[in-house]
Amino acid sequence: MSRRVLSIQSHVVHGYVGNKSAVFPLQLHGFDVDFINSVQFSNHTGYKVFLLIIIEMQLKRINDELKLKS
């Protein structure tokens, strides 16, 4: 039986938080990881300047497709 995870988190281009930091350790522990980035940041929000892109419409489409397949 395979161990599968769907990880829905933020993603950063520069740095390691959200899906960028979660997927690899899960894979190292033997999980088959599918991931969806809920938002995209240019970098960690702890910096003074960052860019945020919200991916709401894509999330709705993915959710609709997953409902059709289940």
Q: What is the DSSP string of 31-64?
A: -EEEEEEEEEEEE-TTSS---EEE-HHHHHHHHH
**Torsion angle, alpha carbons of 27, 60, 68, 7, to 10:** 10
Number of structural domains, the chain?
Answer: 1
Which residue is it, tokens 């892109």? Answer: 53
Taking CB atoms within 8 Å and a gap of at least 24, the contacts of 48-53 are none
Would you place residue 62 in the very low, low, confident or very high pLDDT band (cuts 50, 70, 90)? confident
**Using one digit for the tens of pLDDT, what is the confidence trace for 4-50?**
898 989 888 888 889 999 999 999 999 999 998 888 888 777 777 76
Domain that holds residue 43: 4-69
